[in-house]
Structure 1
Amino acid sequence: MLAAERYDRIVELVNLNGSMRVSELSERCRVTEETIRRDLDRLEQAGRLRRSHGGAVSVKEDQPEIPYRVRETTQAEEKKRIAHAAVSMIEPGDRILLDASTTAGYMAASMPDIPLTVLTNSIQVATELSSKDKIEVISTGGQLAQRSLSFVGPLAERSLETYHVDKLFLSCKGVHPESGSISESNELQARLKQRMVGISDQVILLADASKFGVRAFARVTGLQAVHNIITDQVPDPEMLERLKVYNITITTV
């Protein structure tokens, strides 16, 4: 593969997935990680993508949602580790809220059958929990977003106003300590997640390393609203120093 072809392939992969890690791009393009890092530097200078901690993110604004089945197989092992750690934070009797992320789907699949109330806008989460007799599942309803197998829109947002939960397990497209925000590439998802934060006592952010340093199109909330972050890699020292300001507990798995 010529360098120009590799550049196009890298941009195509990053735009398709929203973000990609150096290791994934290295495997897909069959070149070393050092080569990929140089490529990403050049592509960022050309304005075709934006570097993030450990990879790159798309610069396309308000991207269409990536289909759930595509996201489900992207960084699957990292997401499963994060999901396992998140499940360990759940206690019998909790009222929890799960968003429509693939990590939430992995949480639902591995969740023990204990007395819980689970509120969700995810079809996948509701399906995974349907066989667990002790767990009460409440769906937001709303407009079906087919690509993410989730409910969004005004009806979903209004339904959240009826409830109050102990813990919210929240995903995002970007965690940006410098601006103090977490963000999404899709405005409808961002608006719904804003409502989720507003009805939750504790916000637990599920974010793999590729999300750090990223500032996506639609703001969800400020980092001051986040109590815990579960991630798969320790953020770099500069990132950790910025996160200290917000007094967030960080768990690395």
Structure 2
Amino acid sequence: MFAIERLNKIKELLFSKKRVDVMELSELFSVTEVTIRRDLDKLEQMGVLTKTYGGAVLNEELVPAAQAVEEDDEFIEEKRMIGRIAARLIEDGEAVYLSPGTTCLEIARNLQEKRVTVVTNDLRIGLALKDFTGVKTIVTGGDLAHSSSALVGGAALQLLQGIYVNKAFLGVKGVHFDAGYTTGSYDEAMIIQAVRRIASEVIIAADYSKFDQRGFAKLGDLSLAKTLITNKQIPSEYKKHFFEQGVKLFTTFELE
């Protein structure tokens, strides 16, 4: 087993049991306790856990932080409806990628009845999926982005090499005729570029507040994806553009 695979298995155990023991992990993975302690050091640096004597506990500070963000999100209901629609597009047996952010978090929360594999670099999404028995969750390694639950950097990119997903769901910061699809940081954009190479289909999930907005880093032109999930309130000129370009446009009109 590669080190990155072992780290993901340790994270899965943390999400389900809330704590892990060095000796037990050493026996489980057939490696030395020194190796396990190094793994725990890496996960602590990523913000996933807090080391204790003989083991480690899940850093559950991420959970209330996520709840606080949602309570302040005036578009949370729109994102929840997008999550319900997106889940309908996911078939049993598929592998999907969910990008960081509250919109894709809502997609994750609608996968209770699915039997799928989910790849994500968002710790909150990993936590949301921990009790879904039919979902195999793979959380990338990486550096924990500042004031975020997103994992970025070389370790995250490494895991994305050599795997493939049927569908990649991307949350964005902006949808704009000139700027295209954008996100909040260059590091996040680098992850998305890697995901685009391993995905058979790219699907944008963006609530209507993202339209005519620009984020910091460009992901691609509006031709990047052939499917877009959003709300009925998007500007009419965008509806016209996507219709003319043959983009499948799913809106939350049918759920309201």
TM-score, structure 2 length as denominator? 0.68
Which residue does the alignment assign to 1:205? 204
Which residue does the alignment assign to 2:225? 226
Which residue does the alignment assign to 2:27? none
Which residue does the alignment assign to 2:70? 72
CA deviation vs aligned residue, 1:36-92 (integer Å, no higher than 9, x gap): xxxxxxxxxxxxxxxxxxxxxxxxxxxxxxx75554231111110010111111111
The answer to whether the 8 A contact 2:242-2:249 is kept is: no
Q: Distance in 1 between matches of 2:226 and 2:202?
A: 5
Which residue does the alignment assign to 2:150? 150
The answer to whether the 8 A contact 2:119-2:138 is kept is: yes
The answer to whether the 8 A contact 2:98-2:119 is kept is: yes
Q: Distance in 2 between matches of 1:189 and 1:126?
A: 17
**Structure 1 unpaired stretches of 5+:** 1-66
Secondary structure of the structure 1 residue equivalent to 2:223: helix
Q: Distance in 1 between matches of 2:242 and 2:114?
A: 34
TM-score, structure 1 length as denominator? 0.68
- The verdict on how the C-alpha distance between 1:71 and 1:205 changes in structure 2, with shifts beyond 3 A counting, is farther
Which residue does the alignment assign to 1:29? none
Which residue does the alignment assign to 1:88? 88
Which residue does the alignment assign to 2:250? 251
Backbone CA RMSD of aligned residues: 1.8
- More off after superposition, 88-97 vs 101-110: 101-110
Which residue does the alignment assign to 1:56? none
Aligned length: 186
Which residue does the alignment assign to 2:123? 123
Q: Distance in 2 between matches of 1:139 and 1:162?
A: 15
CA deviation vs aligned residue, 1:85-116 (integer Å, no higher than 9, x gap): 11111111011001111112122222123321
- The verdict on how the C-alpha distance between 1:110 and 1:240 changes in structure 2, with shifts beyond 3 A counting, is closer
CA deviation vs aligned residue, 1:189-214 (integer Å, no higher than 9, x gap): 12111211221111111111111112
Q: Distance in 2 between matches of 1:81 and 1:127?
A: 20
Secondary structure of the structure 1 residue equivalent to 2:203: strand
The answer to whether the 8 A contact 1:185-1:218 is kept is: yes
Q: Distance in 2 between matches of 1:103 and 1:185?
A: 14
CA deviation vs aligned residue, 1:129-154 (integer Å, no higher than 9, x gap): 11122211111111112522121112
- The verdict on how the C-alpha distance between 1:118 and 1:225 changes in structure 2, with shifts beyond 3 A counting, is same
Question: 1:250 is aligned with what amino acid?
Answer: L
The answer to whether the 8 A contact 1:176-1:182 is kept is: yes
1:185 is aligned to 2:174: no
Moved over 3 A (4+): 67-71
**Structure 2 unpaired stretches of 5+:** 1-64
